[in-house]
Structure 1
Amino acid sequence: MRYIIIGAGAVGGTIGGRLAESGHDVVLVARGAHLEALRRDGLRLISPHGAVTVPITAVGGPEELDLRDGDVLVLAVKTQDTAAILAAWAPRPVTGGGAAGEVLPLVCAQNAVENERMALRLFRHVYGMCVWLPALHLEPGTVVSHGAPLSGMLTLGRYPGGTDETAERIAAGLRDSMFAAPVEPDVMRWKYAKLLGNLGNAHQAICGRVPGSEPLMERLQAEGRAVLDAAGIPYTSPEEERRTRGDQVDETAVGGVDRPGGSSWQSLAKGSGSIEADYLNGEIVLLGRLHGVPTPANETVRRVAAEFAREHRPPGSMSMPTLLKLVEEEAAAHR
């Protein structure tokens, strides 16, 4: 198998770097200064185990690559970028016949639950991956992996359900490369549970990691559970997740430095102009509107996070009391 990692940021860079380090054939797809650094110097991967520089092939897009039978496409971009990426890769010809969307497996190594559904419109063989992988990417050419003793847990399965030989082979490669990689026939049950955990990404981006965030997080997740229950969508329990992960992966300081924030915090820190909140908190808002369940906390943090991204406001620049006040105002408006 050749792994083509589309999106070589914190998650994609860690997955691709570990696979390449263990001898697998890997191509990283990146852009801008990050792509230039990867081509010039390779990938610098820093972790609790030390720092390594991994020589690796890097390209800017599908037009720079001859796809072939046996390739695995691993999508590791933010959800707001998925549609454009799928449209660029699906029609690409594969040596031996057919287009990528018809013959190659596509793994959605992403947060949120919309990616697989978008992918299935254009790709016949879609796999969901529930990603628990604490990592950081702010500097071109460099990814910091905060997971130890393993770098992450990557739960994999076919979408919309089931498992197959391809999933098992991908998982085996990941297990060879410092990842836990369970194969589950209902991977979306794991991804919906991860969605509940990711509901805090936006408020962390807005306010930073500050004391006093627990009540808001509890409220966001209570709304999330209420809408999933109303929609009849199953999700794993925290106990099941802890049993499966065990002590295989813990978030660990690297060089004495903790990770300052998750993926949404990093989007604001890099000034990317977009944020994933529409597909995290926004998924709860959507389901709430479909099933008549009020979701004022998720609507507020979704809206404010989107404003922060559009206006290029720095992460952590709103106080938690201010955000909580906006939540209460939103709740009062819907009473």
Structure 2
Amino acid sequence: MRYIIIGAGAVGGSVGGRLAEAGHDVVLVARGAHAAALRSGGLRLHTPEGIGVHRVPVVEHPEELGELRADDVLFLAVKTQDAVAALDAWGGRPVAGGGTAAETLPLLCAQNGVESERIALRRFRHVYGVCVWLPASHTEPGAVSAPCAPWTGILHLGRYPAGADETAARIAADLEKSRILAPVVPDVLRWKYAKLLSNLANAVEAATGPLTDGRAKDVYARARAEGEAAFTAAGIAWADEAEQREARGDRIRLRPLDGSPRGGGSSWQSLDRGTGSIEADYLNGEISLLGRVHGVPTPVNDALRRVANTLARERRPAGSMTVAELAREVDASPHTDA
């Protein structure tokens, strides 16, 4: 199998680097300065073992690869707000032996939230959900830091909307040979909904920094309570905390990386890089959507979505709000958006 990593940022770069390190064929898809740095100096992957430099093919557009191979796996790791453009760019590409990528190739959706798979299934026949628990950061071109050991992360994966198959098992075997745990599960959405609840903290962290202040933790707790209420009203099941801890065990431990700057989560990194967009519509916004459909008030998530989008649109730095400012925004939020 050849792995085409569409979005070689924190998660995509970590997965692509580990796969390349283990001897698998990898193509990295990136843009702008990051693509230029990857081409000129390789992917610098900083892990607890040190800094590895992986020189693999890099493209910005699918046309640069020409015809795809029948054994290609598309690993989608762009943010959900960028998924449509990426899927439309890759879906129509011809595959050796006949058909297009959308018709014949497996597509793994490795994003936070639960919307990307649904977007993908409109276009691709063979969609796999991936629940990502892989702490990593990408804040400078050409470089990715993945500070966990002895395993780099854990990727629960399975067919979308449900099920498991031999393709998932083969991909999982390749990942596990590359220091990434990859349980194949028939209910991948249950794991992704559980991760979504934890990702409701992303907007809080992006706005104010690490959740060390009691008021910041309280905002997250209120956002999570809304999420659980919305899930319950919608009849959505999610993996509980004990099940998640058992899956990770002590096999994934954070270790400080010498010389590597501290990076926050994915939303924090979006603000830090000044990308102009953020994934809050598919995290806190997912809870807002469920709340509106099922009659559950979600004022905290409404406010967090709105604040995060404003910070991204105005290209304000990560952590540029005080906790008190964020708390005031949340407390002033009506039960419906203005």
Q: CA deviation at 1:193?
A: 0.3
Percent of aligned pairs with the same amino acid: 61
Aligned-partner Cα distance in 2 for 1:32–1:53: 19
DSSP 3-state at the match of 2:4: strand
1:191-270 counterparts in 2 under 5 A?
191-209=192-210, 210-212=212-214, 213-255=216-258, 259-270=262-273
Quote the residue 2:36 is aligned against: 36
The corresponding residue for 1:46 is: 46
CA shift, 1:132, in A, is: 0.4
After TM superposition, where is structure 1 displaced by more than 2 Å over at least 4 residues in a row? Answer: 256-260, 331-334
Q: Which moved more, 1:78-87 or 1:208-217?
A: 208-217
- How many angstroms does 1:331 deviate by? 4.6
Q: Deviations for 1:21-43, whole angstroms, at most 9, x for unmatched residues? A: 00000000001111111111111
| CA deviations over 1:281-334 (Å, ceiling 9, x no partner) | 000000000000000110001000000001011111111111111111115789
SS at match of 1:101: helix
For residue 213 of structure 2, give the secondary structure of its aligned residue in structure 1.
Answer: coil
- Residue 147 of structure 1: aligned partner: 148
Amino acid of the structure 1 residue aligned with 2:26: V
d(CA) in 2 for partners of 1:19 and 1:3?
8
For 1:32 and 1:235, how far apart are their aligned partners in 2?
38
Contact 2:298 2:335 (C-alpha < 8 Å) held by counterparts: no
- Are residues 102 and 214 of structure 1, via their aligned partners in 2, closer, same or farther at CA, if it must alter by over 3 Å? same
Letter in 2 for 1:211: D
Contact 1:252 1:258 in 2 (8 A): no
Given the alignment of the two structures, is residue 291 of structure 1 paired with residue 290 of structure 2, yes or no? no
Give the match's secondary structure for 2:333.
helix
Q: Secondary structure of the residue that 1:68 maps to in structure 2?
A: coil
SS class of match (1:51): strand
**1:262, CA displacement in angstroms?**
0.6
Q: What is the aligned partner in structure 1 of residue 74 from structure 2?
A: 73
SS in 2 for 1:323: helix
How much does 1:110 deviate?
A: 0.8
Looking at structure 1, the residues matched to 335 and 149 of structure 2 have their Cα atoms a distance apart, in angstroms, of: 44
Describe how 1:158-177 pairs up with structure 2 within 5 A: 158-177=159-178
CA 1:256–1:237: 2 relative to 1, 3 Å: farther
User: Partners of 2:17 and 2:259 in 1: how far apart?
Assistant: 22
Q: CA deviation at 1:90?
A: 0.7
Alpha-carbon distance in structure 2 between the residues aligned to 1:300 and 1:205 = 14
Q: 1:47 offset after TM fit, Å?
A: 1.0
CA RMSD across the alignment? 1.2
1:146: how far off? 1.5
Give the Cα–Cα distance (whole angstroms) in 1 for the partners of residues 335 and 64 of structure 2: 53
Contact map agreement 1:180 1:248 (CA 8 A) in 2? no
Q: Secondary structure at the match of 1:242?
A: helix
SS of the residue corresponding to residue 82 of structure 1 reads: helix
What are the residue-to-residue correspondences of 1:268-283 with 2, within 5 Å?
268-283=271-286
Equivalent position amino acid for 1:121 in 2: R
CA distance in 2, matches of 1:253, 1:199: 25
Q: List alignment gaps of at least 5 residues for structure 2.
A: none
Aligned length: 334
